[in-house]
Amino acid sequence: MSEPATSPTSPPESTRTGPGRLLVAVYALFALSASARAGVQIATKFSHAPVAYVLSAFAGLVYIVATVTLANGSRTARRIAVVSCSVELIGVLVVGTWSILDRATFPDATVWSGYGSGYGFVPLVLPVFGLLWLYRWSRRARTRKAAAVTSAGDAGDTADGGDPAVHAVTSREHGQAG
């Protein structure tokens, strides 16, 4: 089943259309890789770098939440996705800085170590793209909603909200043609 086409002026039906598809795919890839990596590290050598491995598991959880909420695309899911992408961006910046300043705490890298340098800095730019996509999507949705409200108000162009039946009754009550 194909997704409905949208015009350039209307918002997509969901955050998972257009560039959102790529975003969801990349988040899904990172959710799988970060979670699997953390699971193996915690199961096999937790005592070697517990802080790094717990932070990798946390990153995996953040990626899972972002993937699910971006794929869902409902209003509530989009709000959760904004929080998830924001937590991710803050996490990358904090863990990235921490891993550079305190190398002893990070004998093994996390997804967010060195600002995601081990992953081509994708963990650093991914939440930025996620937040930009969510902002763009919500702005277009608000514009579309405002246009719909405006056109509904223009339909009858009366103080009663544009309902022709109400307008006809009101006109007759006041002895006006309607």
d(CA 38, CA 51): 11
Instruction: Find, among 130, 133, 5, the residue nearest to 63 by Cα.
Output: 130
d(CA 112, CA 62): 12
DSSP state of 47: G
Instruction: Say if residue 84's pLDDT is above 50.
Output: yes
Q: Which pLDDT value is given to residue 137? A: 80
Q: Which pLDDT value is given to residue 31? A: 97
SS3 of 15, please? Answer: coil
Residue whose tokens read 């491995």 = 53
> Which token pair is 47?
């005592």
What length does the chain have? Answer: 178
Question: Are the C-beta atoms of 81 and 15 separated by less than 8 Å?
Answer: yes
The answer to which of 2-6, 47-51, 120-124, 140-144 has the lowest mean pLDDT is 2-6
**Can you point out the beta strands (E) in the chain?**
none
d(CA 122, CA 128): 10
Q: What is the mean pLDDT of residues 76-90?
A: 96
d(CA 28, CA 88): 14
Q: Residue 89 contacts by C-beta under 8 Å, 6 or more apart in sequence?
A: 127, 128, 131
Q: Which pLDDT value is given to residue 138? A: 79
Instruction: Say if residue 85's pLDDT is above 50.
Output: yes
Domain positions in the chain are 19-173
Q: What is the pLDDT of residues 17-31, one digit of tens each?
A: 788 899 999 999 999
d(CA 6, CA 87): 31
- The reported pTM is 0.73
Instruction: Find, among 110, 68, 109, the residue nearest to 85 by Cα.
Output: 68
Q: What is the pLDDT of residues 111-155, one digit of tens each?
A: 999 999 999 999 999 999 999 999 988 777 677 666 666 766 655
Instruction: Say if residue 40's pLDDT is above 90.
Output: yes
142 vs 6, residue with greater confidence: 142
Instruction: Say if residue 170's pLDDT is above 60.
Output: no
